[in-house]
Amino acid sequence: MAEELVLFSRFFDLLSWLLPHAERFPRVYRQSVTRRLMDAALDCQEAAFAAQSARGARRQAALQDADAALNCLRLYLRLAHRWRWLNDGQYAHVSAMVAEIGRLLGGWIRQSAP
């Protein structure tokens, strides 16, 4: 249970960092790439919340949804870095945050496996 609480704290930290930075992305991409990036981050956290309140197969499905959304988030962050919307330091910072969330989520998935 403590790992789950840490996971939610890390999601909050990620979103607190990512939202203001995403607002600075080019305006022309805000309704497409930026929106997808933010949706992936929010979907991941929402799926983790759903997993917390579910049991059994429903929990596993929610955790898999969270993992899939996290993978999408990784893709959009790589694109943002490649397009120079995030500098190297920002990308290293957010990548470390996402990697930690991935480890915590992976541990929860393994712990919840039947």
**pTM for this entry:** 0.92
Work out the mean pLDDT of the chain and round it to a whole number: 94
In the chain, domain spans = 2-112
Q: Note the pLDDT tens digit of each residue in 51-96.
A: 999 999 999 999 999 999 999 999 999 999 999 999 999 999 999 9
Helix (H/G/I), strand (E/B), else coil: 114: coil
Q: What is the CATH number of domain 2-112?
A: 1.20.1440.60
pLDDT grade for 34, boundaries at 50, 70 and 90: very high
Contact 12, 48 (CB under 8 A): no
pLDDT grade for 2, boundaries at 50, 70 and 90: low
Nearest Cα to Cα of residue 11 among 62, 40, 45: 45
Nearest Cα to Cα of residue 69 among 44, 35, 87, 47: 44
